[in-house]
């Protein structure tokens, strides 16, 4: 089945691997996603093997799809939270898959998000420094 997946979809899959940082899930649609340890359940998680085992069927929500590299982020935690609905998460989401227009730890030059190279940032830093020096010597 080759269905177009989107953020907010609730899908089923089979746990195919467990690492310290997350649980890999083979989705029923021929794709693979990752449940990051922070999305596995509320609270501190020490051992992901206590949450799932390889071969387990899981019901997860798609919380992000990186359109550039097709990585799918999944969550068990969102489904666990009965009081919090997905609409509140969806309000925070802005265009280009950024949250609150903040930079993320990853870089995607196609979407113009993430960190710039030092070479690209250096001219702006120099101009900022010159501007600060001009203003401090004028006083």
**3: CATH:** 2.40.50.140
Which structural domain range is residue 71 located in? 1-93
Are the C-beta atoms of 13 and 31 separated by less than 8 Å?
A: no
What pLDDT does residue 103 have? 42
Q: Are residues 25 and 67 both part of a single domain?
A: yes
Q: Are residues 25 and 58 both part of a single domain?
A: yes
In angstroms, the CA 104 to CA 101 distance is 9
In angstroms, the CA 139 to CA 130 distance is 15
pLDDT in single tens digits along all 139 residues of the chain: 567 888 888 899 999 999 999 999 999 878 899 999 988 888 888 899 999 999 999 999 888 888 888 889 998 888 877 445 545 555 555 444 444 444 444 555 555 555 667 787 788 888 888 888 887 776 5
Q: Are residues 88 and 107 both part of a single domain?
A: no
Q: Is residue 21 part of a domain?
A: yes
Q: Are residues 122 and 88 both part of a single domain?
A: no
What pLDDT does residue 24 have? 94
Q: Is residue 130 part of a domain?
A: yes
What pLDDT does residue 88 have? 53
Nearest Cα to 33, choosing from 49, 44, 42, 22? 22
Which contiguous run of DSSP H or E holds residue 86?
helix 86-92
What pLDDT does residue 124 have? 83
Tokens of 25: 């899930």
Q: Are residues 114 and 139 both part of a single domain?
A: yes
Count of the separate structural domains present in the chain: 2
Q: Is residue 98 part of a domain?
A: no
């Amino acid at each position: 089945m080759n269905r177009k997946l989107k953020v907010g979809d609730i899908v089923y899959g089979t746990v195919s691997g467990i690492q310290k940082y997350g649980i890999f899930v083979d989705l029923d649609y021929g794709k693979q996603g990752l449940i990051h340890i922070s999305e596995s359940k509320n609270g501190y998680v020490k051992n992901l093997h206590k949450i799932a085992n390889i071969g387990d069927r899981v019901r997860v929500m798609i919380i992000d799809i990186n359109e550039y590299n097709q990585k799918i982020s999944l969550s068990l935690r969102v489904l666990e939270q009965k009081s919090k609905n997905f609409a509140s998460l969806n309000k925070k989401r802005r265009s280009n898959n950024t949250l609150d227009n903040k930079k993320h730890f990853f870089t995607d030059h196609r979407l113009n998000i993430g960190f710039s190279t030092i070479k690209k940032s250096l001219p702006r830093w120099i101009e900022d420094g010159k501007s600060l020096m001009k203003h401090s010597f004028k006083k």
